[in-house]
Amino acid sequence: MRLNRLVIAMFVLSVTSTVSSASNTEAPTYAERLGWPAGTKAVIFHVDDAGMSHNSNMGAIKAIEDGVATSLSVMMPCSWVPEFADYFKSHPEVDAGVHLTLTAEWKNYRWGPVSGKPAVPGLTDSDGYLWHSVSDVVAHATADEVETEIRAQIDKALAMGIKPTHIDSHMGTCFQPGYIDRYVKVGIEKKIPILIMGGHMQYIGAEAGPLIPLVRSIAQRVWDAGLPVIDDLVTKPTMAKDYKQRKAELVKLLGDIKPGITEIIVHCTVQTEVFSHISGSGPTREAELRLLTDADVKAFIKSKGIVLTTWRELKKRRDLVQN
């Protein structure tokens, strides 16, 4: 998922709340609020797009089994979800969420809504597939249709034996005005942790800008409902094309992150010729998989005392906290 400043601004402004003008600079991190010692740097390395393809499944599984990835989320409308569900049956400890998917962005590989076109006609194009872009979804789909599809995707996961440890949003569609409240509503109702950041926002804050206090107000709503909240989100950890430079960028990121809970989003794919027919992003996804399994990256994390955590652990810790 890629959250840009506009998306954050739009979803924040869709939720009305009284916001304190007091500075939040000295507030305890959500890591501290969830019971970790002050100064703890807790990281979720999160793999998006499991279930999208066989290559995506293999990449996510390898990142979890052989690398530092701690969590992933599954695109329930996609064709390769059964393969991941079969894997999950014998690996129920895997931290698996639902990557709520309201778009089908690729040119020659498409998917439709789990709830079916008759139930959510505004979510589908003339061919019956989900729209290519977020803007198309916003132009055609109602909040009721979005909520119907959110529920259908969660229900499908449960029916296939995947009990979601969290929910998040593919391409950030659920964070659009008119949709964000349904996303939060369903998560709170079902007591499923929701991807939301409300702490120091060291990296995602650069995109939120002056809207940071409002973002924190939404996070407070989620926290008050008894669900965990994270401090920060990194949506693109590396930018370089050269692998050596990518590794240097990731190591610097890990060294620079502030104490608190930070989710770092990656897309891991075992690259084959087949994936190139889906997307040209294969080399980047393969590089991110390589980074997560790199011995130097693992050693750096250990040397800095960075705690690798999961959404499942966040929920367990939140259940023990009374405020």
The residue written with tokens 């709170």 in the block is 188
Residue 24, in any domain of the structure: no
Residue 127, in any domain of the structure: yes
pTM, entire model: 0.91
CATH number where 63 lies: 3.20.20.370
Contact between 201 and 133 (Cβ < 8 Å): no
Residue 292, in any domain of the structure: yes
pLDDT tens-digit series, residues 241-268: 999 999 999 999 999 999 999 999 999 9
Give me the helices (H) in 14-80, please: 30-33, 54-66
Average pLDDT score over residue span 161-173: 96
- 142-156 burial: b if 16+ Cβ within 10 Å, else e: ebebbbbbbbbbbeb
Which is more confidently placed, 4 or 171?
Answer: 171
The range of the structural domain enclosing residue 99 comes to 5-14+39-320
Residue 30, in any domain of the structure: no
Residue 225, in any domain of the structure: yes
Number of separate domains in the chain = 1
Residue 32, in any domain of the structure: no
Residue 34, in any domain of the structure: no
pLDDT exceeds cutoff 80 at 10: no
pLDDT tens-digit series, residues 171-181: 999 988 789 89
Residue 118, in any domain of the structure: yes
- The dihedrals phi and psi of 306, each to the nearest 5 degrees, come to -70, 130
pLDDT tens-digit series, residues 59-102: 999 999 999 999 999 999 999 999 999 999 999 999 999 999 99
Contact between 104 and 110 (Cβ < 8 Å): yes
In this prediction, residue 233 carries a pLDDT of: 96
